[in-house]
Amino acid sequence: MSDTALSIREIIAHSAPFDHLPDAVLDRLAAEAEEISVAAGEAVYESGTASDDIYVLREGMVRLEPSGPASAGASSRDIRPSDAFGWTALSSSAARRERAVATMPSRLLLISGTRFIAISESVRAAQTKQEVDVPAAPLATLLPETDTFRRQQNVSDSLDIFAFRVAQWFKSPKPYLLLLGYALFLGSWYLAVQVWKLPRFAQMPGLTDVVQEWTSRNPVYGVSIFTPVYYEHIFVSLRRIAVAFTCATLIGVPVGLFLGWSKTFKDYVFPLFELLRPIPPLAWVPLAIVMLPGSELPVLYLTFLASFFATALNTMLGVRSIDPTYFQAANCLGASRAQVFWHVVVPGSMPFIFTGLQISMGVAWFSLVAAEMVSGQFGLGYLINTSYTTVQYPTMVIAMLTLGIVGYASSALVRLAGNWLMSWRTRQLALDGAR
């Protein structure tokens, strides 16, 4: 087999549900797969066309755009390298319900749906004659079980897929545009402060001053990556964020679910909710200091407050976005209110919940910094404020950049958790929405 064929086979083998097919099927699919190139803005297929082929994205990006009356309320979805789409070719002869268009120059593998089923059936029949244990059902009937296959996938396969996606990411322009953005920001900072010395930047510390202070073993102002106090500030802020964000999630998600699901609950609670939500966290500072003892509880309360409202509101919107036909179908099947809540309301609102949690994490950091500036004794917000009042501007910038890095990492963790818990929805959209 040639190097090109081997490469194609590896790509197919890393795409669900191909990843659990016998080697004989993968070899024949790789031999018959046709590689095509699509320019940016060019359609891979149009809505309403015959569903004859399956596609695996090798490089670039393809967007699936809903069209037609049945797509009301549906949103576009991006297909990324190693993802497969176009499953109508295996499950029915219906026309495409979406338009697939390349958003950047892309290379795809085209696999005939008819040949796919024929190859899988012929290999299964041949292996059955040899008394080899293989699936007894046609491939098309295995598609709904892709979720089960994924759960049974071992750690080695997962790492291989992760490595493949990372390699594809480095082949795309995204990492280089990201580096270019950082380079432009740092370059502008350096030129404005240290080269051109613009009047409005006269008091701002230069890039080299900040880097030297940040990495110094004997920092002038006492804070660098080599001093314990630096990590104490980070730890205190992270601990406060963890406590406040957890409380906001545990309270905000149930409140949002009931606001969206129960009209009676919403009639009682939502007017008060909307009255308090616009009040900024800083306006609560005096009341928090008066109500709560010590200096720690006011900071936690102010951090919790903004995070709670963001979580509850997005969760409520998630419940209200659920298609009413799901509730009607559950009622027709005799589901109780508790069953409707756990099997329709909670799963259906999950995408909005995790969107809300990402927003919640961001506003939690906003509120935390404001609270630490007012009543904290440790933390990154406290460090920023004290550095400003004592004219230690390099330390102030170090604290700001650290805040950005830690905040970005915490939001990324929430996003990764959401992607992991919502992987069932991604596969459902790939199998059902790409028809």
* Pair 204, 391: CB distance under 8 Å: no
Q: What is the largest distance, in Å, between two alpha-carbon atoms of the chain?
A: 84
d(CA 200, CA 183): 22
The residue ranking higher by pLDDT, 106 or 164, is 106
Cross-sheet strand order for the sheet of 62-66: 43-45, 98-102, 62-66, 77-79
The pLDDT assigned to 426 comes to: 52
Give just the sign of the alpha carbon dihedral 35, 39, 41, 43: negative
Separation CA 83–CA 162 (nearest Å): 12
Distance CA 171, CA 120 (A): 32
- pLDDT over 70 percentage in the chain: 82
Sorted by sequence, the CB contacts under 8 Å of residue 92 that are 6+ apart come out as 51, 435
Choose the weakest-confidence range: 116-120, 145-149, 197-201, 352-356: 145-149
Whether residue 140 has pLDDT greater than 60: no
Kindly tell me the burial class for residue 23, based on how many C-beta atoms sit within 10 Å of its own C-beta (0-12, 13-18, 19 or more): exposed
Q: Where are the domains of the chain?
A: 3-144, 209-433
CATH of 209-433, one of 1.10.3720.10, 2.60.40.10, 3.20.20.140, 2.40.37.10: 1.10.3720.10
Name, in order, each residue with C-beta under 8 angstroms of 15's C-beta and a sequence gap of 6 or more: 56, 82, 83, 84
Residue 187: its pLDDT value, please?
94
Averaged pLDDT of the chain: 81
Distance separating the N- and C-terminal Cα atoms of the chain: 32
Q: Return all residues near 174 (Cβ < 8 A) that are at least 6 apart.
A: none
Q: So what's the pLDDT on residue 150?
A: 43
Cβ atoms of 134 and 83 closer than 8 Å = no
- Which of 124 and 5 is assigned the larger pLDDT? 124
CATH topology for 3-144 is Jelly Rolls (2.60.120)
Residue 111 has pLDDT above 90, yes or no: no
Kindly indicate the confidence band of residue 126, based on its pLDDT and cuts at 50, 70 and 90.
low
Q: How many alpha carbons lie under 13 Å from residue 372 in its C-beta half-sphere?
A: 27
Q: Which of 91-105, 185-199, 329-343, 370-384 has the highest mean pLDDT?
A: 185-199
Q: Is the pLDDT of residue 145 over 80?
A: no
Q: What percent of the chain has pLDDT over 90?
A: 35
Residue 419 or 263, more confident: 263
Number of H helices, E strands in the chain: 19, 8
CA distance 146 to 189: 50
CA dist 398 → 198, 234, 335, 379 (Å)? 21, 12, 56, 13
Instruction: Determine the Cα–Cα distance for residues 369 and 364; give it in Å rounded to an integer.
Output: 9
DSSP state at residue 152: T
- Assess whether pLDDT exceeds 60 at residue 188: yes
State yes or no: pLDDT of 417 exceeds 50. yes
69: pLDDT confidence band, cut at 50, 70 and 90? low
Assign 392 a pLDDT band (cuts: 50, 70, 90): very high
| Of 67 and 141, the one with more pLDDT | 67
Please give the pLDDT value at position 255: 96
Q: CB–CB of 387/399 below 8 Å?
A: yes
**Mean pLDDT for the stretch of residues 136-154:** 43
Q: What secondary structure letter does DSSP report for 191?
A: I
Predicted confidence band at 409 (pLDDT cuts at 50, 70, 90)?
A: very high
Amino acid 18: pLDDT? 72
Task: Label residue 133 by pLDDT band (50, 70, 90).
Answer: very low
Q: Which of 12-16, 72-76, 413-417 tops mean pLDDT?
A: 413-417
Instruction: Quick: pLDDT tens for 15-25.
Output: 766 766 777 78
- Give the pLDDT score at 6: 47
pTM greater than 0.85 (yes/no): no
Q: Mention every residue, 6+ apart, whose C-beta is less than 8 A from residue 146.
A: 16, 17, 427, 431
Instruction: Express each pLDDT in 208-247 by its tens digit.
Output: 999 999 999 999 999 999 999 999 999 999 999 999 999 9
pLDDT band at 1 (very low <50, low <70, confident <90, very high): very low
296 against 67, higher pLDDT: 296
Domains 3-144 and 209-433 share a fold: no
Q: What is the mean pLDDT of residues 107-113?
A: 87
pLDDT band at 127 (very low <50, low <70, confident <90, very high): low
pLDDT of residue 53: 85
Q: Do you know the residue count of the chain?
A: 435
